[in-house]
Structure 1
Amino acid sequence: MDIELARFNMVEQQIRPWEVLDQDVLDLLFVVRREDFVPPAWRLLAFTDMEIPLTIDGKPTGEVMLAPKVEARLLQAAAVRRHETVLEIGAGSGYMAALLAHRARRVVSCEIRPELARFATENLSRAAVAGAAVEARNGLEAAAESRWDLILLSGSVPFLPDPLLQQLNVGGRLVAIVGELPMMVAQLVTRVGEREFATESLFDTVATPLVAFPRKESFRF
């Protein structure tokens, strides 16, 4: 398998046609080696237009890496800046955290499954990614402890709770896939003032729900 040709085809045939036109994002996909974050059993499919199951020692965790074009489109919408502090909820393999860390000042990536938190940490360390730390806990706990310039949810949620939005700095953004089957929409929410938020629908998609994210009637910080 010609890895570099497969990477090039992923960018030019899947990602660019899906309205990912930010050249910095496209360039980054050549810098951060996606195949290094894929479980060994799935490595040959690292560049295919599909979600990749996340397995540990061959055993499925129930979690996935999002399809490459979805990851790239979310990263483009996030528009991360070098001075910003980022929270990712749902570290998975650590790939999105690696992408974010190349553009942000600091990334905290939370993963509720300890075995995946270890996997993501190992992947980031092996790839020599600086500025990203994986914490083995519910990301909602981390969100409540600080203010953030960007919160990115690497999985779907049924709704966006207002207390989570309140943890954004003014000018901060939250990027997430919102809804339940059969209808989910990727959204960008920007805090434009202390009491004002602007929401933009980006694209229709479906994604695996984040583990332990509460339903609306049971949400608590």
Structure 2
Amino acid sequence: MIKTLLLFIPLIIQGTVVSGEPIDTPRSDLRVSLGTISQTKSGYLTVVGPKERAVRTLGLHSKALLQFRYRGPSEKTAPLDSGAVIQQIGLKMRAMNTCNLLYIMWRIKPTEEIYIAIKRNPGKLTYEDCHANGYIVLDRIPLKPLGITAATQKTHRLGASVTETAGRYAGEVTIDGRRIWSRNIDAKLISGINGPVGIRSDNGSFIFKLFVIETESSSK
């Protein structure tokens, strides 16, 4: 678990990134499948549209960190397939494709919570194949009882990890270095789903950085 991120520059020795150090994701390392993601001169990424989806183009990482600041609602809104209008930003983990992945979403409005769900649709590849089918909600964590909110437009860090050991899967979620969720994940739900880390946002304006954490099992 990452307790602090005072430095965002990964430690490099003779061209090798040291295990455990956060690696920043520039815009050039993202493949955007929906919406627009821009990069500021200082290297921060921004989204202002109603829907943005992207994944990293390189590497398979089991740990990721999203540092973000909520700047308010987007000018245009787009409801989810359920019809709900939700302002949210979060991590796509093990993003095999749009039909098979794990979401760790920070929902800001209408109810502030961390929404953790697997989307599993074996054999499906595109949104046209699966739409909003296959969601399995693992947990919803209300943030008000924890005294945490992004609505004040302060910077927060949402961390997530999914690790596999001998066929057993474990997930963890942190906010600002504080662990708020830790649980084993049924292998039947997540086995066979693997891919890069990514980003998703809906109906909000955000400025952010996406980091991945190198581990010994990371695939480059």
TM-score normalised according to structure 2 size = 0.27
Higher relative contact order, structure no. (Cα contacts within 8 Å, ≥ 6 residues apart): 2
Q: Which structure: greater strand fraction?
A: 2
TM-score normalised according to structure 1 size = 0.27
Q: Which structure: greater helix fraction?
A: 1
